[in-house]
A and B are shown apart, each in its own frame.
Chain A
Amino acid sequence: MNQTSAILIVSHSHDLALGMSKILRSLNPDVRIEYCGGNNRGGLGTDPQAIASALQNLTSNVTECYVLADMGSARFCVQEILDARPRGGIGRINLLTGPFFESAIELVTKLKANNESGLGGIAETINLGSEKLGADKSQTITRNVYLPFSDGLHARPAAGLVQFFSQFDAEISLQGVDAKSILELLKLQILQPQQVELEISGTDADQVVSGLEEYLKQL
Chain B
Amino acid sequence: MKRFMKFQGFVRKLGVGVRNHVAVFCTVGCSAYVARKIVETNPRARAVIHHQGCCHVPPEIAYVEKILINLALNPNIHSALFVSLGCEGVSAEKVADAVSRYKEAEVVRVLDDGTSGAISRGSRIIEAMLREAERVKREEFELSEIKLAIKCGGSDFTSGIISNPVAGKVADMIVEGGGTVIFGETTEVIGAEHVLADRAINEEVARKVYRVVEEMERRIIATGFDMRGGQPTPGNIRGGITTIEEKSVGAICKVGSTKLVDVVEYGELVKQRGLIFMDSPGREPEVLTGFAAGGAQITLFTTGLGVPQGYPVMPVVKVSGNPETCKRLHEHIDVDLSKVFYGEESIDVAARRVLNEILEVASGKPTKAELLGYDETVEIYVKGPVI
Is the pairing of A and B real? no
